[in-house]
Amino acid sequence: MKIAVIGGGSWGTTLADMLAKKGLETRLWVREQKVMHEIRTLHENTWYLPGRPLAPNLDVSTDPAHVADGVRHFLFAVPCQFIRHAYARFLKYLPKNPAIICASKGIELDTLMPMSDVCEDVLGALKPRFAMLSGPSFAFEVINGIPTAVALGCAHKKTGKEVQEALSSPAFRVYTNPDVRGVELGGAIKNIIAIASGVADGLGFGSNARSALITRGLHEMSRLGKAMGADTETFMGLSGLGDLVLTCTGDLSRNRQVGMRLAKGQKLLDILGEMKMVAEGVKTTEAVHALGQKLGVELPITEQVHAVLYRNQEPAAAVHALMTRTLKDE
């Protein structure tokens, strides 16, 4: 199998390196000439993964035509708000019925579309076979060979098995799931709850608050998922509960770090301006908040995270609003 990985950030580089080290012919598309030259000559991506040697057989280029030549499997790992642009950039180079593996977690803000719908909107004429890669997977741990398990949402059984076998290794275990909608929504919504968890940690709250946020966040995720046609059981798996626990507790979680810094009084624009990588939960909060209103789904945690991010709500006041909501059955 030849596979093209689109996106030279920490996750795209990690996945490309993993595939190349398995012996698969792997081509990595990056945007910057400097990054391409560095990976070609030093076998390292110093901006996102400093000190981590990359496979010497990894083919890297800024040319979409070269990256796509003779390839049928394309793995997109760019920030979710840029996924439409990435699909469009490669559109004329893709074959008919390409396998599109999306590793971008979020909801497109302008259209409120999840990633599979964006793929269909841009590439539908090619009849793509879509798969969504999600689950608890910090790039730093994966590239260091630390055992990781993820979910692959794919409605095409043959494609799912192909991609599962291509990605799996002794340190990276892939489970398939036909519920694409559930897998992609879990990966998106957990980032919002992670911001809330970071706020709680930043305010000095303890394990009680964090466990409550994870539990009620899972319920919120399932409620919106059900309204959008997902199987609620999916949210009990790796792309739901698994990723939720990771991003709400892990120090490498960018979204949790955003919440912690907001709780300390820092301004959102200052926080984002100092981050090397994208915290997907910031824009996803805006998109999911709008989705909840559109579908009539109550999303109290999302509502308060949105208020903190976009309506200058004080973090402590947001916590008070959550804790003093009308009492109800679980």
> Cα-flanking dihedrals φ and ψ of residue 25, to 5°?
-70, 110
The domains located in the chain, with CATH, are: 2-178 (3.40.50.720), 181-323 (1.10.1040.10)
Amino acid 117: pLDDT: 98
Q: For residue 271, what pLDDT band results from cuts at 50, 70 and 90?
A: very high
The percent of residues above 90 in pLDDT, for the chain, comes to 99
Nearest to 216 by CA among 284, 304, 144: 304
At a CB cut-off of 8 Å and minimum separation 6, what does 169 contact? Answer: 18, 22
- Position 83 scores a pLDDT of 98
Known catalytic residues? Answer: 190
For residue 35, name the pLDDT band (cuts at 50, 70, 90): very high
pLDDT at 158: 97
Task: Identify the band that residue 295 occupies on the pLDDT scale cut at 50, 70 and 90.
Answer: very high
Q: Which residues pair with 174 in a beta bridge?
A: 150
Over range 10-38, report the average pLDDT: 97
Q: Specify whether the CB–CB gap between 247 and 256 falls below 8 A.
A: yes
Give the pLDDT of residue 285. Answer: 98
Among 257, 231, 30, 3, which Cα is nearest to 138's?
Answer: 257
Using one digit for the tens of pLDDT, what is the confidence trace for 92-139?
999 999 999 999 999 999 999 999 999 999 999 999 999 999 999 999
The model's pLDDT over 153-207, given as tens digits with 9 standing for 90+, comes to 999 999 999 999 999 999 999 999 999 999 999 999 999 999 999 999 999 999 9
Using a pLDDT cut of 70, give the percent of the chain over it: 100
Q: List the beta bridge partners of residue 131.
A: 101, 154
pLDDT given for residue 276 in this prediction: 86
Average pLDDT, the chain: 97
| pLDDT confidence of residue 23 | 96
